[in-house]
Amino acid sequence: MEVLGFVCIPNWLSILVIVVLLLMMYTLYKQSYFRSLSIPGPTPIPFFGITIDIGRKGLHETDLSLMQKYGRCVGIYLGNIPQLLITEPEMIKQILVKRFPDFTDRPHTLEDSKFMDSAVNLASGEHWKFLRSTLSPTFSSGKMRNMTPLISQCLERLICNGRKMSENGKSVEMKGLFGGYTMDVICSTGFGMEVDSQSNPNDPFVVNATKAMTANLVGPRILLAMIFPDFQMFMRGIPLMDKSAVEFFIEATKSVIQERRSSTSNNYRDLIQLMINAHKEQDTKTEGHVEGLSFDSYKKRGLTDNEVLANALMFLLAAFDTTSSLLTFVSYCLAVNQDVQDKLRSEIDKELGKSQPVYDNVFKLQYLDMVVSETLRIYPPARRFNREALVDTEICGVKIPKGLDVNVPICSLHFDPEFWPNPHKFDPERFSPENKDNIKPFTFLPFGAGPRNCIGMRLALLQAKMAIVGMVQNFRFQTAPDTEIPPKLDKGVFTKPVNGMYLRLEAL
């Protein structure tokens, strides 16, 4: 191609320049979204938005500094995907509770395969309503009480393992120890399976759960989806989660289902049995989500095979890392705050002595609840959750267009000095009966809020509280020379110690 009659540019170069120009126009157009809504936020880097910042500083630091600089309602771009970050309690309340019908769904940005759309955490509209109401009874207080003996067995193994590991006086890696306990609880309460992953950290359940949780968030699939959100439908076949790990869990779940269907016993009380009971023989080949199908029609249709599998997998993934992280950080906080540990041990001694923690006594321990709450404030296992605006709307004077991905950055809320004086200080007294009423509603959200909050909250708290009581009755958590203080944290969505959590367990 000739330019001005004398400069000759090769055709490939002209095409390249045109493509680059078109891509620039695309990204500039996408990244002008918040300007037109007059929502403040950082100037995005073309194509990447603020992803480079997140990669460098981590999600926690990035979210915190954005709130400090731009206020409680910030517009950011994940690549070219606009996301609204909200830390204004009144807005959060409106979105999660008061105007819930306008924000029922989670956005399908960076979504996984079609298969996982049938999991309750990703499902939408009437389909979500049907799944949530079918699965919710598994987490009722009656069901939790029935699950207590199963959890007690796992706790006995935890204590026994703690003793073995601490015998040589060396430090113990707590995330691994509690990971095994959490996995055992999930397998027995979710699948009716006895798995001793605590004695065997190489147990395939633990290995595959860890693999499945480590979604490749810097892989080409994610980068392309962030830069070209309009073309996501062409990327859906490429799974986010490790394929072999997902296949492992699908096969394990299928064999439990097969066993149960051929069994005549009706003694099973776990999640998988509840789902099997909600499965109807007719129409099992229908895809999970059916456009336009009403709640009543879903109920009539029953759970499909895919829905049973997807929700079994979700149950495992949602429960494993979150609950084991909570336990890991509680043990760390008790080791570096010996006065708090002493006070907790006194409460346990006074209320329970050496008797076993069970459903009816752990929820009565007030100081235990204060310690767990303060740990969840400083180390919320999940750092963000989100909703999608289903209509064009306005909340507290902010225009929110249909389709916008609205995020609640939990850490920013939990570290806001206006709501939490001296926010970096570990102080369970913030949650004492006298102080609790001063906590501003919607500023403490480790489990989210509203009709779409964490479905497993009660189970997570039960198994975590039982484990803390059991451990404090039998050991003193102590720091060791290899304890990292403060722990270096993972930069992603989940709060975990990057270099493990090494503590000494002094047997009592």
What does the binding site for ligand HEM look like in residue numbers (CB under 6 A)?
Answer: 120-121, 132, 314-315, 318-319, 322-323, 326, 381-382, 385, 446-449, 452-456, 459-460
Q: Give the separation between CA 404 and CA 390, rounded to whole angstroms.
A: 8
The CA distance from 465 to 312, in Å, is 24
Cross-strand partners of 73: 86
Question: Burial level of 291, CB count in 10 A (0-12/13-18/19+)?
Answer: exposed
The alpha carbon of 100 is separated from its chain's Cα centroid by a whole number of angstroms, namely: 20
Q: Compute the distance between CA of residue 284 and CA of residue 338 in angstroms, rounded to an integer.
A: 56
Question: Are 288 and 127 spatial neighbours (Cβ–Cβ below 8 Å)?
Answer: yes
Smallest gap from Cβ 262 to ligand HEM, in A, equals 26
Q: Please indicate if the annotation marks 160 as binding a ligand.
A: no
Beta-ladder partners of 279? 303
- Minimum distance from CB of 10 to ligand HEM (Å)? 53
**Of 80 and 94, which CB lies nearer to ligand HEM in the complex structure?**
94
If the CB atoms of residues 84 and 326 are measured against ligand HEM, the closer one turns out to be 326
State the minimum distance, in angstroms, from the CB of residue 275 to ligand HEM: 13
Q: Cis (ω within 30 of 0) for the bond into 486? A: yes
CA–CA separation, 247 vs 243, rounded Å? 6
User: Closer CB to ligand HEM, residue 1 or residue 457?
Assistant: 457
Q: Smallest distance, Å, CB 1 to ligand HEM? A: 54
Taking the C-alpha atoms of residue 210 and residue 272, their distance in angstroms, rounded to an integer, is 21
Residue 306: burial class (beta carbons within 10 Å; 0-12, 13-18, 19+) = buried
Cα four-point dihedral sign 325, 494, 109, 66: positive
Phi and psi dihedrals of 427, rounded to 5? Answer: -145, 90
Structural contact between residues 392 and 401, judged by C-beta atoms closer than 8 angstroms: yes
Q: Which is nearer to ligand HEM, 30 or 383 (CB)?
A: 383
CB of 387 to ligand HEM, least distance (A): 7
Side chain identity at residue 401, one-letter code: P
d(CA 203, CA 207): 6
Ranges assigned E (strand) in 87-144: none
Say whether 73 sits in a helix, a strand or coil: strand
Relative to beta strand 398-400, strand 405-409 is unpaired
What number of other Cβ atoms are within 10 A of residue 357's Cβ?
25
Closest CB to ligand HEM among residues 226, 454 = 454
- Closest separation between CB of residue 352 and ligand HEM, Å? 22
Q: How many degrees, rounded to 5, is the angle at CA 335 between CA 332 and CA 337?
A: 105
Looking at the Cβ atoms of 41 and 107, the one nearer to ligand HEM is: 107
Q: How far are the Cα atoms of 2, 75, 76, 84 from residue 39, in angstroms, in the given order?
A: 45, 6, 9, 9
For residue 313, the one-letter residue type is L
CB-CB neighbours of 392 under 10 Å? 12
CB 365, min distance to ligand HEM, A: 17
Give the residue nearest to ligand HEM (CB).
448
Give the nearer residue to ligand HEM in terms of CB position, either 223 or 493.
493
Q: Which is nearer to ligand HEM, 215 or 455 (CB)?
A: 455
Nearer to ligand HEM, 443 or 478 (CB): 443
Residue pair 214/360 in contact (Cβ under 8 Å)? The answer is: no
- CB nearer ligand HEM, residue 229 or residue 456: 456
State the minimum distance, in angstroms, from the CB of residue 52 to ligand HEM: 26
Binding residues for heme: 454
